[in-house]
A and B are shown apart, each in its own frame.
Chain A
Amino acid sequence: MSNQKPGINREAFLVRDLFDKEIEQKPTRDGFGLGVVDAAKLDENVVVLCADLTESTRALWFKEKFPNRFVQMGVSEQSMAAIAAGMAMAGKVPFIASYAAFSPGRNWEQIRTTASLSDTNMKIVGAHAGVSVGPDGATHQMTEDIAIMRVLPNMIVVSPCDAVEAKKATMAGAKVVGPVYLRFAREKSPVFTTNKTPFKLGRAETFRFGDDLTIIATGPLLYEALLAAEQLSKRGIEARVLNVHTIKPLDTKAIALAAKETGAIVTVEEAQAAGGLGGVVCETVASLCPVPVERVGMPDRFGESGEPKELLEAFGMTAPYIAMAAERVLRRKRGEKVEATLPFVTAAAEKIVEMRAAVMKEALGRAPRKWGGNKSDLSLKSRTKK
């Protein structure tokens, strides 16, 4: 047991109105855009390479400030990685920017050989990671990047929780010598940390105290973890919440301490629940302090088209599902018998069927006559003259 009173850690300096519905929202990729400009001001060797996604990765903000240090690659992620490695071997600090599905998704071998094995000082920027990419669908929703990057020796893997932390992570990534993977999201998410919130690569931060269990989260879903902890608190369960922005090297001390002091862990990530944060936490507690673990994340399936917020709910990554995972892990901690199936996964699988049916019914109900429906063609959104 720790000596801390349950509740938000005041020394984490989170925003004052943490659970205000009107909390400011920004995508974490914005933090990269700002951070890489600041990093470039401090180090003239910082260069940015981008594979035809300048605006959406926010590499554009760097290009506008430092046009001569920006390199347009076209749709060539594989050579982008290896060319960046060449530049790093000549003393540059290259950031390579694309969507996570393509980099590191497509160019993983080039990263393995020319960044990781060669231990070059280059930074891989994976934007649009996770399912919150939304309507683009499974091909663009990268959910395997944490798993494939964290197994690379020498690689540092960082998944910031909001735009403010994303900026800090980018600047820290520029300073450290060696390959770094930075994971960012497309969709807006709550900005709940501040400039005063402590951030150090490789160190987990306690955002909430509690001794009944620990929720270990990474990326923007950390906010959902805090919401889940609040919901649990109302039921008399006090969850510790750890921000594990650095998945590699993992803060094994903090994880082991959490396991020892709380005896139960739930991991939360917007990625495959296998192999990523969930995987590394299980590996760590198995060798240091075995306790029950439940993993919230993609349950061994791909994403699909939908609105970002719908998808997070449909895949069981929001606060209510995290709370359900917490309930199960607590039953295991108490030594009670639990069902073989995971209730938080089953509930989401049922929910998505319901949600799909509702969305399809609404859309098909508005089908115009020209497409076999019974509504006027002029009722199509495209035909409204404003």
Chain B
Amino acid sequence: MPNLTLGPKVRNDLHLHDRKLKQLEERATTIREDIIDMLVEAGSGHSAGPLGMADVFAALYFHVMVHDPKKPNWKDRDRLVLSNGHICPVQYAALAHAGYFPKAEMMTLRKLGSRLQGHPDRAALPGVENTAGPLGDGSSQAVGLAYAALLDRSPWRVYCVMSDGELGCGITWEAMLFAGRNRLYNLTFIVDRNNIQIDGTTEEIMPLEPLAAKFESFGLHVERCAGNSIRDFVTAIERAHGVSEKPTVILADTIPGYGVEFMEYDFRWHGMPPKAGGESSMAIDQIRTLGGKIRSEHE
């Protein structure tokens, strides 16, 4: 076994001031609006996952990760591997706001000639680390990146966002065996634990609980957090950074469709956008109301 000792050296100050928290929450609200706008322009795509993960993505791209949108190929950037590629609208919106590409391109999602493919294409869009869509492959790619980083004694970290539904893929657990065995502590898996998949709830389709125990038995450190609370998620990330002998998996309990009341918790919104008109404008209104609620807490 190679000597995998030296770890990450560069990281952002993760202390979350109230003002920073408020900025991130506003960012998440903007991203949610953009998700609805993009999906309705596209006329197809996934709603529930992207909305549920807007807080995590706002936190990752605007607080947690060390990256430079002006230098998307900077060798020491932190890597975000998106394993459940179908939630890419949330990643696209975050990348656009971070400055990886012009925001106007959000108009082109899923259209012929767009860099914003229906599922992410790493060759097409700056900031996209991996081509994804078929579930399960991302966790192994993340393991490969993290292993190579340790071989090279590189300072960067790997974050892998994955869904709970895709834990049905056997390859996920092959990756976990390897990650645990090689103590890839520069790697953090973030599982969007929203309890839904295409055909129904995860516990009805193929039960996953007790999920934390499963990951622990594979040699991973497990954190559980409220995935729609940026503060809670960032705390979980800080704890993950503090674990130096194991990879961490953060089970982020999220509400699918978060922010749009008629979508929340409903698996039928996994794979479709709201209809243009009354439905979509109601979605936008509800997201704004949510933003209002959150802001008032910190003012």
Contacts and interface: CB of A to CB of B under 8 A. Distances in A.
User: Are A and B interaction partners?
Assistant: yes
Interface of A: 50-56, 72-79, 101-102, 105-106, 134-140, 304-307, 310-311, 314, 352, 355-357, 359-360, 363-364, 366-368, 370-373, 380-386
B280 A381 contact: yes
Contact of B134 (A79, A101, A367): A101
B284 A383 contact: yes
B272 to A, nearest CB: 11
Interface centre among A77, A101, A102, A380 (most CB of B within 10 A): A380
B256 interface: no
B103 interface: yes
Given A363-B41, A380-B40, A52 B119 contact: no
A139 B119 contact: yes
A-B pairs, 8 with minimum CB distance = A356-B113, A139-B133, A74-B206, A306-B112, A74-B168, A386-B277, A382-B40, A137-B118
Contacts of B278: 385-386
A372 B104 contact: yes
B274 interface: yes
A74 B205 contact: yes
Given A54-B199, A136-B133, A372-B104, A382 B110 contact: no
Given A76-B170, A372-B102, A382-B37, 8 more contacts: A52-B165, A53-B199, A75-B135, A78-B170, A136-B110, A140-B134, A380-B37, A382-B281
Given A76-B170, A138-B121, A363 B280 contact: no
A43 to B, nearest CB: 25
A139 B132 contact: yes
B21 interface: no
A102 B168 CA distance: 13
Contact of A382 (B114, B118, B199, B274): B274
B276 interface: yes
Given A72-B206, A135-B110, A383-B280, A367 B104 contact: yes
Contacts of A136: 44, 110, 118-119, 133
Contacts of A310: 112
B299 to A, nearest CB: 23
A74 B108 CA distance: 32
Contacts of A140: 118-119, 133-134
Contacts of B206: 72-74, 76
